Amino acid sequence: MRTPLAGAIAQIQRLKQETQEAPVMARAAAIEETLKRLTRLSERLLQLARAEGGKLRADQPGDLRPVARLLVDDLGRAAPGRLLLSLPEGPVLSTLDPDAFGIVLRNLIDNALRHGTPGAPVQVILTEGAELSVANPGPVVAPEVLARLTDRFARASSGDGSGLGLAIVAAIAGRIGGGLTLASPRPGLADGFEARITLSG
């Protein structure tokens, strides 16, 4: 599904380059944005399928720190200065498949950037015991909303998110026996949101 969508986006972008008519440009831009939303949704659905049925454990323990650095560097390009990564000096060993860890981390960071206070920093902490936390400033999420955020298509606020990110993380956490804890406000603070998951094993 991703390949046809990518092809359609490329065609729309080419159309925008070839026309000077304002109405055509506006319609092409709207179509491009819709196709990009569909691409993001299809990616999340593929991740959910992986979370619910794919292999999540590697044969041997590996260090999660290089994956965390790579992913934070990648996502940080679109949010300069906002991602604050804290890693221990020693290795963070886990049998969690690196791709599965990447899915967890990407979804938690994307959620924090999308729903936190605009421009505010997002704290990403990975401990030596393979506990991951992602926290951001922002409005306090009501307890009844917080309780259903891991449901599919649930959202804490209006926006262009798919409502699948935390459901994917929860599915992975459930299959690997790692607890996922959501807190709002952040522990010890008056606002914000924190997601914490144990990745050891």
Query: What angle do the packed helices 165-176 and 98-115 form, to 10 degrees?
Result: 140
The answer to whether 107 and 47 have CB atoms below 8 angstroms apart is yes
How confident is the model over 54-87, as pLDDT tens digits? 678 888 999 999 999 999 999 999 999 999 999 9
Parse the chain into domains and list their residue ranges: 2-52, 58-198
Query: Which CATH number describes the domain made up of 58-198?
Result: 3.30.565.10
Distance CA 152, CA 154 (A): 6
The answer to whether 198 and 169 have CB atoms below 8 angstroms apart is no
Distance CA 37, CA 142 (A): 27
How confident is the model over 29-51, as pLDDT tens digits? 888 887 777 666 666 666 666 66
How confident is the model over 164-200, as pLDDT tens digits? 889 999 999 988 888 899 999 999 999 999 999 999 7
Q: What is the DSSP letter of 185?
A: S
